[in-house]
């Protein structure tokens, strides 16, 4: 067989493998998000879908740090918290990443500590530049990672929910 014909086949197999691995990991996070949303049923004040986001992760490279990368999210406003269902848009599909629960009331949501969706918040700034919400959590070190998140396209009233 012609080597010029074989190379594209290997490339397609490689990209297909990467896609299915990413999609498979996303299914686990999608189930976790659905389970958590069912616990919050009746407590959700407002739902904001398809918010543009930027995330920058530094520190130890791990599966946890990998799950902190996302480009879009759905935001669910609770009375004393904000639940963020994160995802990557790939070929028109939502590949779920680890959801986040942002709150100052750690004791009220302590059951979520084991699932690693309740990060140690360092800073929340709902009045960040370009009218975005800035969230910083974790500590960058050899053993841990930190993440900086910007949420774009929220109205002033929606950004006020991030003032705890």
- Report the distance separating Cα 81 and Cα 106, nearest Å: 10
Tokens 């067989």, residue? 1
pLDDT computed for residue 1 by the predictor: 58
pLDDT computed for residue 65 by the predictor: 58
Domain definitions of the chain by residue range: 3-160
pLDDT computed for residue 39 by the predictor: 84
User: Residue 52: pLDDT above 80?
Assistant: yes
What does pLDDT average to over the chain?
Answer: 81
pLDDT, tens digit (0-9, with 9 covering 90-100), for 64-112: 656 677 889 999 999 989 999 988 887 777 888 888 888 888 888 877 7
């Amino acid at each position: 067989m012609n080597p010029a014909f074989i190379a594209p086949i290997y490339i397609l197999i490689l990209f297909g493998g990467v896609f299915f691995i990413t999609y498979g990991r996303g299914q686990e996070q999608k189930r976790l998000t659905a389970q958590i949303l069912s616990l919050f049923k009746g407590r959700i004040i407002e739902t904001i879908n398809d918010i543009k986001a930027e995330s920058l992760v530094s520190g130890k490279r791990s599966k946890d740090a990998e799950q902190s990368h996302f480009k879009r999210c759905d935001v669910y406003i609770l009375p004393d918290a904000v639940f963020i269902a994160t995802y990557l848009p790939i070929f028109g599909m939502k590949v779920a990443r680890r959801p986040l629960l942002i709150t100052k009331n750690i004791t009220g949501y302590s059951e979520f500590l084991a699932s690693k969706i309740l990060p140690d918040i360092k800073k929340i700034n709902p009045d960040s530049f370009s009218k975005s919400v800035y969230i910083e959590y974790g500590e960058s070190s050899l053993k841990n990672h930190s993440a900086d998140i910007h949420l774009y396209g929220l109205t002033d009233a929606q950004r006020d929910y991030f003032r705890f």
